[in-house]
Amino acid sequence: MKVEIDLDKIFSLGKINEKENIRFRSYLKNLDIRIDELDKLVHSINDDVTKQIDCTKCANCCKSIKPVLDTADIIKFAEGLNLTSEEFTKNSCSLSESEKDKYNFNHLPCPFLKDNKCTNYNYRPMDCQSYPHLQKNEFIFRLWGVIDNYSICPIVFNVFEILKVELWNKNWRKSIEF
């Protein structure tokens, strides 16, 4: 399957498919499938899609999302910049509005992004390293995040669309009414 990488099209389809994506989330939550089986399917699709997408051609995550940083992330990232964690936090971070005692970079796009690459790549926060988080287990418990990232990340967009074909389009209209 050819993957979609046009960010304008992905963003537009994100708006168009918003209600459908929420319905698909509900479908997945009620699907009779073991969590590990769904994870295996998502991981397999993610591996196939990821091989076809060069993140350095996109870097939309770094332009659109502020990663959540914990103390370990701050210490490590500051080390890569030859700064103290206090200097780094003061100059480049703000308290996270969504997570207590955590931080975000204080600007978008990421102030450490240059030519679609991280200038401190070897010291990236865990949130950046694991994005778009599709390789993690327990996919079923992170579906709101997947929906949030659907119109931002071509990998998420394509994995979710393939999942719709694999799991939903075969019988969803017969089994669930909204």
Residues in the chain predicted with pLDDT less than 70, given as ranges, are 170-178
Which residues are paired to 94 by β-bridges?
104
Q: What is the pTM for the complete model shown?
A: 0.91
Given strand 68-69, what is the order of strands in its sheet?
A: 68-69, 103-105, 93-95
Q: DSSP of 128-153, one letter per residue?
A: HHHTT-TTSS-GGGGHHHHHHHHTT-
Q: For residue 170, what pLDDT is reported?
A: 66
Q: Which residues have a Cβ under 8 Å from the Cβ of 50 and sit 6 or more positions away?
A: 155
Q: For residue 119, what pLDDT is reported?
A: 97
Which residues are paired to 88 by β-bridges?
none
> Mind listing the pLDDT tens digit for each residue in 85-113?
999 999 999 999 989 999 999 999 999 99
Q: For residue 171, what pLDDT is reported?
A: 58
* Spatial separation of the C-alpha atoms in residues 23 and 25, rounded to whole Å: 5
